Structure 1
Amino acid sequence: MDRESSGRRWESGTLAHGVSDPFGQGPLPWLRSPDHYFEGTEDPIPWYVSADAPGQLPLPAAPPPLVGTPRNSDDVVQQIKGFAAAGAVHPGGAVDLRVTVNPPRDFRVDVYRIGHYAGAGARHMTASPLIPGLRQPAPLVAGRTVSCHHWWHSWRLQVPAHWAPGAYVAVLTTADQRNRSHVPFTVRDPRTDGPGPELLLVLPDVTWQAYNLFPEDGHSGASLYHCWDEHGGLLGESATAVTVSFDRPHAGAGLPLHVGHAYDFIRWAERYGYPLAYATATDLHAGLVEPSRHRALVFPGHDEYWSEPMRRSAERARDGGTSLLFLSANALYWRVELGPSAAGEPNRLLHCRKRQRVLPGSPAAGLPGAASALWRDAGEPEQHLLGIQYAGRVAQPVPLVVGNTWHWLWAGTGLADGDRVPGLVAGEADRYFPKVALPTSTERVLLAHSPYQDDLGRPRYQETSLYRAPSGAYVFAAGTFAWSPALDRPGHTDERIQRATANLLDRVCKDG
Structure 2
Amino acid sequence: MEPRARPSADPATGLIACDWPVSWSLDIPKAWVSGLFLAVFTSDDGFRSYTPFVVRDTSRRSDVLLVVPFTTYQAYNLWPFDGSVGKNLYKGFTPDGKVGGNEERAFRVSFDRPYAHDGIPSWFDMDTSAARWAEKAGYDITYASSVDLHDGTIDVSRYTTVIFSGHDEYWSTNMRDWAEDAVAAGTHLAFLGSNNIYFHIRVEASDDGRDGRVVTCYKQDEDPEPGPGGPTERWRTLGKKHRKAEHGLLGVQYNGMVAKPVPLVVRESDHWFWAGTGLRDNDGIPELVAVEADGFDPSMPRPENATQTLLSSSPYSDSMGRGRRTQNTSLCENGEGTLVFVAGTFHWPLALNMPEHLNPQIQRATGNLMNRMLEQRSQ
Q: Deviations over 1:380-406 (max 9, x none)?
A: 111100010110100000000001011
* 1:185 corresponds to: 53
1:39-58 correspondence runs (5 A): none
Q: How far apart in 2 are the matches of 1:325 and 1:240?
A: 32
* 1:490 equivalenced with 2:355 (yes/no): yes
* 1:173 corresponds to: 42
Q: Give the secondary structure class of the aligned counterpart of 1:147.
A: coil
Q: Which amino acid aligns with 2:248?
A: H
1:453-464 correspondence runs (5 A): 453-455=317-319, 456=321, 458-464=323-329
* 2:230 corresponds to: 367
* 1:153 corresponds to: 22
Aligned-residue offset at 1:442 = 4.0
* 2:147 corresponds to: 282
Structure 1 residues 406 and 362, CA gap change in structure 2 (3 angstroms): closer
Using the size of structure 2 for normalisation, the TM-score is 0.95
Q: How far apart in 2 are the matches of 1:504 and 1:406?
A: 14
Aligned-residue offset at 1:291 = 1.5
Q: How far apart in 2 are the matches of 1:140 and 1:227?
A: 13
Aligned-residue offset at 1:237 = 2.2
* 1:470 equivalenced with 2:335 (yes/no): yes
For structure 2, the 5+ residue unaligned runs are none
Equivalenced residue count is: 370
Q: Which amino acid aligns with 1:341?
A: S
Using the size of structure 1 for normalisation, the TM-score is 0.70
1:57-136 correspondence runs (5 A): 133-136=1-4
* 1:418 corresponds to: 282
* 1:141 corresponds to: 9
* 1:402 corresponds to: 266
Q: How far apart in 2 are the matches of 1:291 and 1:471?
A: 17
Which structure is larger by alpha-carbon Rg, 1 or 2? Answer: 1
For structure 1, the 5+ residue unaligned runs are 1-132
Instruction: Please tell me whether the aligned partners of residues 446 and 466 of structure 1 are also in contact (alpha carbons under 8 angstroms).
Output: yes
Q: Which amino acid aligns with 1:214?
A: W
* 1:376 equivalenced with 2:240 (yes/no): no
* 1:446 equivalenced with 2:310 (yes/no): yes
Q: Which amino acid aligns with 1:495?
A: P
Q: Deviations over 1:160-212 (max 9, x none)?
A: 10101101111111244x21100111101141xxx611000000000000000
* 1:317 equivalenced with 2:182 (yes/no): yes
The CA RMSD over aligned residues, in Å, is: 1.5
Q: How far apart in 2 are the matches of 1:238 and 1:433?
A: 31
Q: How far apart in 2 are the matches of 1:276 and 1:266?
A: 9
User: Which of 57, 69, 74 in structure 2 is aligned with 1:209?
Assistant: 74
Q: Give the secondary structure class of the aligned counterpart of 1:468.
A: strand
Instruction: Please tell me whether the aligned partners of residues 173 and 229 of structure 2 are also in contact (alpha carbons under 8 angstroms).
Output: no
Aligned-residue offset at 1:274 = 0.9
Q: Which amino acid aligns with 1:421?
A: I
Q: How far apart in 2 are the matches of 1:324 and 1:136?
A: 42
Q: Percent identity?
A: 43
Q: Give the secondary structure class of the aligned counterpart of 2:209.
A: coil
Give the structure with the higher percent helix: 2
Instruction: Please tell me whether the aligned partners of residues 16 and 110 of structure 2 are also in contact (alpha carbons under 8 angstroms).
Output: yes
